[in-house]
Amino acid sequence: MKTKKLKIFFKWLGNAFFLLAFLASMSFAWNADGLKKTRSLEFKINNTNGNVFLQESQLRDFIGISETGWQNRLKNNFITQLEQKLSQHPSVYHCKVFTSLSGKITIEAHSKTPLMRITDLNSHSLYIDFEGGSMPLSDLWTARLPLVSGYFKANDFKVVRKPVSKPTLKTFNAFEFCRHTLTDTLFKHLIHGIYFDSTGTVILTPVIGPEQIIMDTSGYYPQKLNQLKQFYKTAYRTSSQWNCYQILDLRYSNQIIAIPYKPFKTKTEDRKSTRLNSSH
């Protein structure tokens, strides 16, 4: 009985010793790999939606390394420094830096995806991405995006990496409204401008159809946008109906006021009208 227990004990002890030896060797290999010097550097840049906000030369300047400034640095320290620096780039959404056994450093950078361009009351312009993060305007690329402008400050408008709450009757958030509108299957193709005036009125500018769509910031806007979508489906069934209305007003509860275009009068018609009025 004692002999059997001793065999089990020594077997367990041997397995434990083997495991410790394996972990020690892996730790030594990891430390040795970390002490290796970098030999080459590669950038893999993923720009979304056809935008070119990130370029290799731009990232090199941002992290402060020249064509040869990265050579012969300790890999582990260099990787940590690169990841920390790149995560602070205003147009980088996600980055990953990894290395090979030969000393090759690979930098993968994914750009943010801008949703809109905003210009506040101080004429300060920047891009806002889908999560409310800000992106500066780029000298390398100009994105074709809806313009949001009016009486707000850029710092008040953006919501950086904050979960979006559901809108209620008593709350209105400019970013949430714009994101809700500009990600809708219809309105993301239709609306190319949003303006917030000083009285709490929101003016949407569509590509086709009426010149203006007027809303306010006091109502439950998803419901009003759904009403607007139904109006488009019923009132604009053919291309000849696109120019029927000049303004669509959604500021009233459960209704849309459609103001038609005024008939265009030529100068001859205006003269005839003036003569008739004077004769009376």
Hey, is 186 helix, strand or coil? coil
Residue 149 has a pLDDT of 95
Are residues 257 and 246 in contact, defined by beta-carbon separation less than 8 angstroms? no
Are residues 196 and 181 in contact, defined by beta-carbon separation less than 8 angstroms? no
Residue 269 has a pLDDT of 47
What digits encode the pLDDT tens for the residues 81-121? 888 888 888 889 888 888 777 777 888 999 899 999 999 98
Please give the C-alpha separations between residue 47 and each of 52, 161, 202, in angstroms, as whole numbers.
6, 20, 32
Are residues 54 and 27 in contact, defined by beta-carbon separation less than 8 angstroms? no
Q: Indicate the residue type of 126.
A: L
pLDDT (mean) for 211-225: 88
Are residues 40 and 104 in contact, defined by beta-carbon separation less than 8 angstroms? yes
What digits encode the pLDDT tens for the residues 148-191? 999 988 776 755 444 445 555 456 788 889 999 999 999 999 99
Structure tokens at 258: 């459609």
